[in-house]
Structure 1
Amino acid sequence: MSTVIEQAVRARLVASAPRTDSVAATLRYDRGNPFAVQMSFPARATLEGVEVAWEFARELLVAGLDEPAGVGDVRVRPYGYDRTVVEFHALEGVAMVHIRTSEVRRFLRRAQHLVPVGREHEFLDLDQDLTELLRDAC
């Protein structure tokens, strides 16, 4: 069984101007990092012209489907029928994207099959993490 799930989603990038652009984005879940999900955007969708990936808690994405969640760099909240808003806060400003909630739920179901919620700790390789930490400390 694969240890990584990737799912393409259509994200509607909400700009400060009265227009929105639809961009391809990718949601990614890696069993090797069981508490996190990643959302990446292609170069054409970013100010810097390079692919950008944001990593945040899977738990945040789950919570934000039903009520506003997050107080840091990433915030998630429901919006109308079958829409979820994900806000990315950085020094350069705020990027806001709308994603179909049904697509997010499908992604989260697939991640749940890979690593059940509440059992993430079973998939951590603490020995490897400690080895890397100590190696970098020397």
Structure 2
Amino acid sequence: MSTVIEHQVQARLVAAAPRMTVIPSTLHYDTDDPFAVRMTFPGPATLEGVEVCWTFARELLTEGLRDAHGLGDVRVLPYAEGRTALEFHSPEGAAVVHVATDEVRRFLAASAAVVPFGCEHLHLDLDEDLAELMRDVL
């Protein structure tokens, strides 16, 4: 059975989005995908006008609270006092948002309460995942 945690945050947009400086965003954690977190931005905050969801490693979010982390499409790094910066890069452009570090810590603590850090592998059902992949092959 899946447990889902959703945490509303106010992201302050720094670059590359239409006319919005504060964006109500949502951090998601689902035990069915224990290594990942998602951050969802509402349609009015995006260039396309549709909801956008970025998925990245929970560990990246955790490590980015202390030092700059991330080499690909998502980077997380401490910013000013009490803020964490998240950079999102795509072929269409880049966006940088700042989120209150305390909000990120609360979200991570809630996720760790259901899946402790280092125990993510215990929440994977590899047999079921493999069977699902093979269903289409056979």
User: Structure 1 length normalisation: TM-score?
Assistant: 0.94
What is the alpha-carbon distance in structure 1 between the residues aligned to residue 11 and residue 58 of structure 2?
18
- One-letter code aligned to 1:13: L
Counterpart residue number, 1:47: 47
Quote the offset at 1:136 in angstroms.
3.3
Counterpart residue number, 1:112: 112
Counterpart residue number, 1:134: 134
Question: Higher mean Cα deviation, 69-78 or 123-132?
Answer: 123-132
What is the alpha-carbon distance in structure 1 between the residues aligned to residue 8 and residue 80 of structure 2?
22
SS in 2 for 1:49: coil
User: Structure 2 length normalisation: TM-score?
Assistant: 0.94
What is the alpha-carbon distance in structure 1 between the residues aligned to residue 58 and residue 8 of structure 2?
17
Q: How many residues align?
A: 137
Correspondence 1:22 to 2:22:
yes
Runs (4+) of structure 1 moved beyond 3 Å?
Answer: none
What is the alpha-carbon distance in structure 1 between the residues aligned to residue 46 and residue 86 of structure 2?
15
SS in 2 for 1:34: coil
Structure 2 spans left out of the alignment, 5+ residues: none
Residues 30 and 95 of structure 1: CA distance in aligned 2, closer, same or farther (over 3 Å) = same
Percent identity of the aligned residues?
Answer: 60
Quote the offset at 1:125 in angstroms.
1.1
**Is contact 2:16–2:94 with CA below 8 Å preserved after alignment?**
no
**Is contact 1:14–1:20 with CA below 8 Å preserved after alignment?**
no
Correspondence 1:80 to 2:72:
no
Q: Give the root-mean-square deviation of aligned CA atoms.
A: 1.7
Residues 95 and 16 of structure 1: CA distance in aligned 2, closer, same or farther (over 3 Å) = closer
Quote the offset at 1:45 in angstroms.
0.4
